[in-house]
Amino acid sequence: MKAFLILEDGTVFTGKSVGATHDVISEIVFNTSMTGYLEVLTDPSYAGQAVVMTYPLIGNYGVCYEDMESAKAWPDGYIVREIARRPSNFRSEDSIEAFLRAQDIPGISGVDTRALTKILREKGTMNGMITTNENYDLETVLEQIKTYKVTGVVEKVTTKEVKVYKPGDLGTEAGEIQKKVAMMDFGCKNNIIRSLVKRGCEVTVYPANTKAETILAADMDGIMLTNGPGDPSECVGIIEEIKKLYQSDIPIFAICLGHQLMALANGAKTEKMKYGHRGANHPVKDLATGKVYISSQNHGYVVVDGSIEERIAETSFLNVNDGTVEGLHYLNKNIFTVQFHPEACAGPVDSDFLFDEFINMMEVAKHA
């Protein structure tokens, strides 16, 4: 069956329908990862977006459900050059095409993803529609596409109930609980939880709209603010609760959206990037040591450099490619945040030592 990708600038790509066949309008973004397509599909940070995979062959090692980063897939649509017809991997349980159908995600293959990505890089992220309707009216479709906006996605992806994970869960080894961590779930990936649990933490995952008083009353050793989708400035209520968490002396570690929300809670500004950072090979420089780490990233917004007062926080990491802020260290507070994903899976593990730093920060604070 034919499928069409229609961009808001009027560009139309023709390909083959894969996955679900219903129409979808979404924000079109691209990811440059060569592997980890299942992790991309199950990353809640992609809610409200359709993902273009720049690597030309997707699905060659199939689908292993154990590798999913959440319970379901989140992107609105999926755009690829070619879908592998015969997955080859002893762990494979399904094909990517069958997975897309089961998850009700419309996809399109046979697209010149190189040309598509060049358009998105030159003109910036834009909206688009995936449709199998060969009789679409371009003028009508473009009007619909241009009115689309990503809203309410944190509420869509967050847990609906409090959940507790202990050492031994998520495939980790059982052991004694060393620390208790409260996690505010804005769109959490499983490997963030796993990274803490395997270090001896009991992790209590709270819905994104949980009041700060509830978190503080739980007497936790530390607080984790997770990744998530959408425009951080939209999360007005959450930012107000983070302000209260900031005033406590509890150690806080924040990743991606959590990093942006903590900055906004302290008077910083965020802005939408032209086409964002989405891939598994983004270099970030640790300003304290001068070392450069390869990181996995997925974000379309960034904290504006210099927008946070110097007496409140200092920049700790910078993106080597474009100089954007990749991390903040809050002065006179047990708080540090990063824009990239130190828990990357699949992806580089260069920066997973940051979880050890968080554990150490909680230990020091406990005996202070």
- Which residue among the candidates 256, 259, 326, 345 is catalytic per the annotation? 256
Please tell me whether 247 is known to bind a ligand: no
Q: How far is the C-alpha of 248 from the C-alpha of 92, rounded, in Å?
A: 46
Per-position b or e across 153-192, b if 16+ CB within 10 A of its CB: bbbebbbeeebebbbebbebeeeeeebbbbbbbbbbbbbb
Q: Is the pLDDT of residue 347 over 90?
A: no
Q: Known catalytic residue: 256? A: yes
Q: Is 190 annotated as a binding residue?
A: no
**Domain 155-366 in CATH: superfamily?**
Class I glutamine amidotransferase (GATase) domain (3.40.50.880)
62 known ligand binder: no
**pLDDT tens, 188-228?**
999 999 999 999 999 999 999 999 999 999 999 999 999 99
**Is the separation of the CB atoms in 8 and 145 below 8 Å?**
yes
- Of 8, 39, 202, 343, which is the active-site residue? 343
Is 45 marked as a binding-site residue?
Answer: yes
What value does the mean pLDDT take over residues 334-344?
A: 96
Domain boundaries, the chain: 2-149, 155-366
Confidence at 345, pLDDT banded by 50, 70, 90: confident
Kind of pairing between the strands at 252-255 and 335-338: parallel
d(CA 80, CA 54): 7
* Average confidence score pLDDT of the chain: 97
- Which of 277, 282, 299, 341 does the annotation list as catalytic? 341
Q: Is pLDDT above 80 for 368?
A: no
Instruction: Let me know: does 32 contact 52? Beta carbons within 8 Å.
Output: no
Q: Is 228 annotated as a binding residue?
A: yes
> Which DSSP string do the residues of 120-182 spell out, in sequence order?
HHHH-SEEEEEE--TT--HHHHHHHHHT----SHHHHHS-SS-EEE-BTBTTPPP----EEEE
22 catalytic per annotation: no
The yes/no answer on whether domain 2-149 falls in CATH 3.90.850.10 is no
Handedness of CA 193, 198, 204, 210 (dihedral sign): negative
Q: Which tens digit of pLDDT belongs to each residue from 231-249?
A: 999 999 999 999 999 999 9
pLDDT of residue 251: 98
Read out DSSP for 189-215?
-HHHHHHHHTTTEEEEEEETT--HHHH
Among 103-107, 273-277, 341-345, where is mean pLDDT lowest? 341-345
Q: How far apart are CA 357 and CA 282, in angstroms?
A: 21
Task: Read off the pLDDT band of 346 (50, 70, 90).
Answer: confident
367: pLDDT strictly greater than 90: no
Active site residue 343: yes
